[in-house]
Amino acid sequence: MSAEISASVREVKGKGSSRRLRHESKIPGIVYGAGKEAVNLELDFFYITKILNDESLFTTILDLKVGSKKEKVVIKDLQRHPAKKTISHIDFLRIDLKRKIKLKVPVRFINKEKSKSLRLGAVLNQFLSSIEISCLAGNLPETIDVDVSKIKIGESIRLSQIEVPKGVTITALTHGDLDSYDQTIVSITKARKMEAVVFDDEVVASEETDDKTEPEAESKEDSKE
């Protein structure tokens, strides 16, 4: 069952109207797409803020109810106040179940606990938090999962190396110039100090000296004490 979001038609447009709405604890919005005319909306601030605490709704097909009419939509864009981080505007995209849509989907880095390098204290560098994909609405995934369990120190994963669900295309990889658009998603780098640990008889990394190494000679000043 789809989640439902209620809204009203916004008759007055412009920045002044938007400011007035925010003073009335309402959020301006718009719905467009599927070959239909765009409609300006207003939504209750507290209602929409509460319902969007569920992050899965950002990649879920929703029922947008405006008056007595309902339409299938997805959240296309969400603007926030730069300082307060509160929602200031929301865009809905109408869904045609027979046509592909483009939407940004969150990246989820999985199997961190299985990474030998991370267990040693290496650093996971995350460069992308979302990826734009193209697919039919029925194939829309909640997240794009990236498995980091086998990345070694100094290695990285690019867009072209991840597996996406069937029927899903990463739009950046459809532009032809792969070298320009094949971005790095994540990499693992060595931390300043890493303990030598052996996993399955394999030493992964070490920056510390062996316990058997002779201690350094005392300095002249130390020897005088």
pTM for this prediction: 0.72
More confident of the two residues 136 and 175: 136
For 162-213, the pLDDT digits (tens) are 999 999 999 999 987 777 899 999 999 998 766 555 445 444 444 444 444 4
* pLDDT per residue as tens digits for the range 77-103: 999 888 888 899 999 999 998 999 999
Mean pLDDT lowest among 9-18, 26-35, 125-134, 140-149: 9-18
Query: Cα 159 to the chain's mean position, in Å?
Result: 14
Averaged pLDDT for residues 129-151: 95
Would you say 70 and 103 are in contact if contact means Cβ atoms under 8 Å apart? no
- The domain limits of the chain are 4-96, 102-203
How does 158-188 read in b/e, with b if 16+ C-beta sit within 10 Å?
bbeebebeeebebebbeeeeeeebbeebbbb
Higher per-residue pLDDT: 215 or 47: 47
Query: Which pLDDT score is estimated for 175?
Result: 83
- CA dist 59 and 72 (Å) reads 13
**Do the domains at 4-96 and 102-203 have one common CATH topology?**
no
Q: Is the pLDDT of residue 31 over 50?
A: yes
Topology, domain 102-203? RNA Polymerase Alpha Subunit; Chain A, domain 2 (2.170.120)
Specify whether the CB–CB gap between 139 and 165 falls below 8 A. Answer: yes
We find that the CATH architecture of domain 4-96 is: Beta Barrel (2.40)
